[in-house]
Amino acid sequence: MPAAPLPVRDGLNPTRLRLPDSGPWPTAVAYLLARFPSDTARLLEKVAAGEVVDEAGAPITGATEFRPRSFLYLYRDPPVEARVPFEIDILYRDTDLLVVDKPHFLASTPRGAYVAESALVRLRRDLDLPELTPAHRLDRITAGVLIFTVRRQARRAYQSLFDERKVTKEYEALARHDPALRLPVTVRSRIIKERGVLQAREVPGTPNAESRIELIEAVDGIGRYRLLPHTGKTHQLRLHMSSLGVPILGDNFYPEFYDVAPDDYSTPLQLLARSIEFTDPQSGAQRRFTSRRRLDA
């Protein structure tokens, strides 16, 4: 994807809109107003201010023709968000990498109702790092080690490590202790996640997800588990723990979904990305980053 002709502003990338293959709109502005009728006033303000541009970075006007399959860029107004009341701890920083200890309840990247209240946008703003980009992601309700690239030039090398499974990840979880459960065990299953459906699910077929589950200790009926995912399917560890009969404490998705208010921080999911280890693609050095957080049920 080509670089956007607008810079990051206030921690946020511009929105990229692809115009349809065809349509009845005589101008680009007519298309925008038809697509976002509830934003008519703000869109017209943005066009008048020269804040809606084409691929070359040229501002569009009311006379700019509708060009099928072309792109427009603009800044959308972020939603009004309550601050997630937890801070991000920095574990490591150099010219290429920023490694943080993400708290529970903070999204990794802007999504849905969480835009400014995401680790990416907070860090871009607080550290003045407009090119900051995640090398991977953690679920909003999972805490632990999260790695970002600082410069555009370093982005591909580190993201490829995750894409090619050249990263060793270790998670920790708290769940009920079942003395009858024989551990360690490697769980293999086929997991699918359908668009628009909250839960992932295991289905018959060739396994595409693999996790090793180990017991670290058990105290008063609660087990502390080490989770070693070989693959990275959506909700894989949560689903595999649930399938063993020991769902992770605080998990409102598995085995059954129940609703939790967005501002209810009373029962965090007891899942922590404890460490990440890999061979650095730039220096060849062995890297290991470990969370300083501790799960406490």
Residues assigned a catalytic role: 139
28-35 vs 40-48: helix axis angle to the nearest 10? 150
Taking a C-beta distance cutoff of 8 angstroms, is the pair 204, 147 a contact?
Answer: no
DSSP one-letter string for 5-36: SS--BTTBPPEEEEPPSS-S-SBHHHHHHHH-
C-alpha to C-alpha distance for 244 and 254, rounded to whole angstroms:
11
Nearest C-alpha neighbor of 296 from the set 250, 238, 239: 250
Q: How many other CB atoms are there within 10 angstroms of residue 185's CB atom?
A: 13
C-alpha to C-alpha distance for 237 and 244, rounded to whole angstroms:
11
R_g of the chain computed on alpha carbons = 22
User: How many CA atoms does the CB half-sphere of 188 hold within 13 Å?
Assistant: 5
- The three state secondary structure string of 72-141 is EEECCCCCCCCCCCCCCEEEEECCCEEEEEECCCCECCCECCECCCEHHHHHHHHHCCCCCEECCCCCCC
**144 burial type by CB count under 10 A (0-12 exposed, 13-18 middle, 19+ buried):** buried
Most distant CA pair in the chain, distance: 73
Host H or E run for residue 43: helix 40-48
